Structures are given as structure tokens and as C-alpha cells.
Chains A and B, each alone.
Chain A
Amino acid sequence: MSDVYISHADLGGTTGHGPIEYEPEGIVFHHGWEAKTLALTLAAGASGKWNIDISRRFRETLADYLDLSYYEIWTAGLESLLVDRGMVSEDEIAAGHALIEPVEVRSVLTADRVAAAMAKGSSAERPPSGPARFAMGDRVLTRAGHVDHHTRLPGYATGRVGTVERIHGAHVFPDTNAHDLGEQPQWLYTVVFDATDLWDHATPSQRVSVDAWESYLRPADEAVTP
């Protein structure tokens, strides 16, 4: 985590992305390769070589993230993950064929297990190691500034005061889990902000919430900057 970490995916509140290109219900894939990329990504996850937070890290740090289509991002993210985890080599990607022996993987998803695996999913909730620090209705201040690792606190919601609205139990902490540093579960809260506390010239009667892990938050009345 010593290199400067830049996510290109933290888009909330940014401008200049053009109009929304609407598509009606029923369009799932535009090309066969998109479907295949989705399937390859889901299937390769059975290898146990990464978790969802690691895969998000590999996608959001792609330098050309904003120039790529959604499934181009997935394809590039999967390729770099596979190389990073030693499952394939750059030469193999270029060749499109196996050139060296495979590494051992946890499992291979077979067709007969697809339905059960998808229907089971993978819970992010873990037993809490202690009581929740915050209660419903508490006013909290979110972490300010940039952090040099994967995180799930959007930039627009940093250094803002909001209100705890829901408590979700202890969940796997992406900031560590994305960097192979363990799940280190923390209490997770829905924190809601008045739009006027997020944006200049915001319209009243608009509110935005994020789901925030406990270490993203401190009591709002503890207004002391370390």
C-alpha cells in the first residue's frame, strides 16, 4: 500500500460524463463476449485466489477505466488478477493458450453446481468482536481526505456530518480485504446526509446515504482534527 493508490471509479458528484444513455428492460448483453467475460469472472472466482474487494481493486485502478466499457473493465481486471495471482502468465494471455503448468486452485465451478453456487452467494456479515460504537440517530463525521488504499467511502461523502439511520451488523472490511490483509470485520451503518451538507447550491429536501464501516466514522461532536 506504499504506492499512491488511485481509484478511477469514485464518480459520485463528478461532472463531464455526458448524457445518460437509456436502455429499456430486457437488454442483458450487447455482445457474446460480454456474457462470456461475466461467466469467466464468476467461474474463475471459484479458484479462491481473490475476493470481491480484491477484484474491485483491480478494476478501479485500471488507468484507462473511464475510457473502457463496463465489460472491457471486467476483462482487463480479470486478466490482471489472473497474472497477479500467478494463475496465468502475460505470455499465456498474449498467446491465448496454456504454456506452463497450472497452479493449484481451491475449486473449479462445474455446470451442475452453478445454480446452487449462485443461489447461495457469499455473505459479508461476520460475528462482531464487540458492541457497536454508534446508535441510530447518532450524528457522525466521516473520515476526511484521501487514503492510500482501496476504500468504500466515496469522495463526495468524506469529511461530512451525517446521521446513523440503520445498523447492519459487522461486515467484512473492504479496505483491508482488498489488499490481502484479512477480513477484519467492522460494524456497518447506513449514514444519511442532507444534500445541503454535501453539495454547494444543493436543493433542500434531498438526502443521500452511504453504507459506512465504523472506522470511517467518529462522533460529530468530537470535532478535533488529529
Chain B
Amino acid sequence: MARGVLRWAVMGGHGHGHGHDHDHDDEYSELDPMDVRVRALETLLTEKGYVDPAALDELIDTYQTRIGPRNGARVVARAWVDPEFRDWLRSDATAAIASLDYTGRQGEHMVAVEQTDDTHNMVVCTLCSCYPWPVLGLPPTWYKSAPYRSRVVRDPRGVLAEFGVTPPDGVELRVWDSTAEIRYVVIPQRPEGTEGWSEEQLAELVTRDSMIGVGLPLDPMPLGSGGNPT
């Protein structure tokens, strides 16, 4: 299990596209007006006594390195190996997920939806950016941006194709629009060829995208090559 955490944590620090590390305050650029604006707001709220700067650091660390999609991957892997846990996910996902210590903000009311041979589920929040933080962490930018939010409810098959997923004709596409405080996590189908795998190995196959419904689990064959689903 530690392997998955480590990989995710490392990627959290270095996997972004801007070429340098933003983990620390001292790397704020003076040139970006948003840097200046947010730094001013932080100073103001700290001076007023409304926020504790140490709590801000703790919050950032929590969502940058501790709470992310490796949590959800462990939920899925457990569901793949443990039929009782899978039934529990179906009947009370909030409690089942809480048994793995994934609880709290933006995951207070969880529903797990399962991919089957007949149905392919996808999750969106067309109204804002609702996303199950305790199991998936903070949402990726595309999830909370207008192109995905606008199109996935009207053309789910077209959107899926852009993610490289093309379910056979006859598979029903089901989109869950998270318009209330219910948060949805998709349980992908266990890949064939993984008989006898440990829960820890299986979790390595579970991608963030497969738990939103826009991707599939990794192919079990190249496991160990360190490949990322893109």
C-alpha cells in the first residue's frame, strides 16, 4: 500500500506542467498579479486574526500530498477482492469507505456506482466542481472547467472518446450530475488477468480517471514499468 501513496505524493510535487516547484511560499512570483492579490488577502486575514498561517500550510499539505486518488484506488481494490465490502459499498458507501478511514469534507454522503458489461457510468458537476475529496482528492482542472461540464451531459459518448474510451454499442452511458451534497465514485470493472493479485497490486491499476468514469483501469500486463495512464 505504501508504494501507491509514495508514487502519488511524488507526482503531487513534481507532476505539473509549469516546470518548477510551487510547494513553498518563497517561490511566489512578483510578476503574477494573482500571486500579489492572494498574498495580500492572506496578510489581511492573518492580521485580522481570522486565519492561522500554520493552518493554511497544513491545509495545503493535506490536499497536496495526503488526500488523493490513491485513497479511492484502495477502496476499489478492496471491492474487487472482498464481496462483502462490495455489498457494503452498494448499500452504504459512506460507511464502507469510512471503514478505510476516508471520511469528511466533500465526502459526507458517498454513493458508489459500478461499471458493468451493460452500463458505463460517468460523474460530473455541471453547476460547480463537486467531487469526492476524501477518495479522489481535489478535482483536476478539466473536471471543473466549462468544456467537460457543459458537454458530458449532452454527449457523453463523444466526451468519452476524447478520453480514449469507446464502449461497445449497446452499452448504456449513465451520467451522474452531482447537483447536491451526494458525492459519486465509480467502481471500475476488475481487469482480466489479475486473478490471485493482492489488494495492493490491484490498487496500482486503479486510475483517477477510472473512478470518475472517463477512463479504464490500467492494463495489468505492464505493471511495474511505472507507466502512467496517459
Interfacial residues, chain A to chain B (CB-CB below 8 A): 7, 9-15, 17-33, 35-40, 42-44, 47, 52, 56, 59-60, 66, 70-72, 75, 78-79, 82, 87-88, 92-93, 95-98, 102, 105, 108-111, 113-115, 117-125, 152-154, 156-157, 166, 168, 171-172, 174, 188, 190, 192, 198-199, 202-203, 205-213
Who on chain A is nearest to B64 by CB? Answer: A28
Does the CB pair B173–A23 fall under 8 Å?
no
How far, in angstroms, from A15 to B39 measured CA to CA in the complex? 35
**10 A-B pairs whose Cβ atoms sit less than 8 Å apart in the complex:** A12-B149, A13-B153, A17-B145, A22-B142, A27-B141, A30-B141, A39-B59, A44-B51, A93-B40, A110-B55
Interfacial residues, chain B to chain A (CB-CB below 8 A): 8, 11-12, 15-18, 22-25, 27-28, 32, 34-35, 37-45, 47-52, 54-60, 62-64, 67-69, 103-109, 111, 124, 126-129, 134, 137-138, 140-142, 144-151, 153-154, 156-157, 159, 162-163, 170-182, 207-209, 228-230
Q: Select B103's contact among A38, A121, A198, beta carbons within 8 Å.
A: A121
Does the CB pair A12–B150 fall under 8 Å?
yes
Does the CB pair B228–A24 fall under 8 Å?
yes
Given A25-B208, A121-B105, A121-B108: A37 touches B148 (CB 8 Å cut-off): no
Who on chain A is nearest to B24 by CB? Answer: A32
Q: Select B180's contact among A47, A108, A117, A171, beta carbons within 8 Å.
A: A171
Q: A70-B145, A205-B171 are in contact. List 19 more A-B contacts (CB 8 A).
A: A17-B146, A24-B230, A25-B11, A25-B229, A26-B16, A30-B141, A36-B42, A88-B44, A92-B44, A109-B52, A120-B103, A154-B153, A154-B179, A156-B126, A168-B182, A190-B176, A211-B179, A211-B182, A213-B180
Given A15-B150, A40-B42: A21 touches B50 (CB 8 Å cut-off): no
Does the CB pair B145–A47 fall under 8 Å?
no
Who on chain A is nearest to B133 by CB? Answer: A118
Does the CB pair B107–A40 fall under 8 Å?
no
How far, in angstroms, from A125 to B146 measured CA to CA in the complex? 29
How far, in angstroms, from A40 to B162 measured CA to CA in the complex? 35
Could you say which residues of chain A place their CB within 8 Å of the CB of B129? 70
Does the CB pair B49–A25 fall under 8 Å?
no
Does the CB pair B104–A32 fall under 8 Å?
no
Does the CB pair B141–A21 fall under 8 Å?
yes
Q: Select B58's contact among A15, A111, A120, A207, beta carbons within 8 Å.
A: A111
Does the CB pair B103–A119 fall under 8 Å?
yes
The 9 closest A-B pairs by CB, nearest first: A96-B40, A26-B11, A12-B126, A26-B15, A211-B180, A17-B146, A121-B104, A111-B54, A98-B47
How far, in angstroms, from A199 to B58 measured CA to CA in the complex? 45
Does the CB pair B172–A23 fall under 8 Å?
no
In the assembled complex, the CB of B22 is this many whole angstroms from the nearest CB of chain A, namely 4
Does the CB pair A23–B142 fall under 8 Å?
yes
Does the CB pair A210–B177 fall under 8 Å?
yes
How far, in angstroms, from A39 to B103 measured CA to CA in the complex? 19
How far, in angstroms, from A35 to B38 measured CA to CA in the complex? 10
In the assembled complex, the CB of B112 is this many whole angstroms from the nearest CB of chain A, namely 12
Does the CB pair A32–B35 fall under 8 Å?
yes
Could you say which residues of chain B place their CB within 8 Å of the CB of A13? 126, 150, 153-154
Does the CB pair A33–B32 fall under 8 Å?
yes
Given A32-B27, A70-B144, A211-B179: A79 touches B41 (CB 8 Å cut-off): yes
In the assembled complex, the CB of B149 is this many whole angstroms from the nearest CB of chain A, namely 5
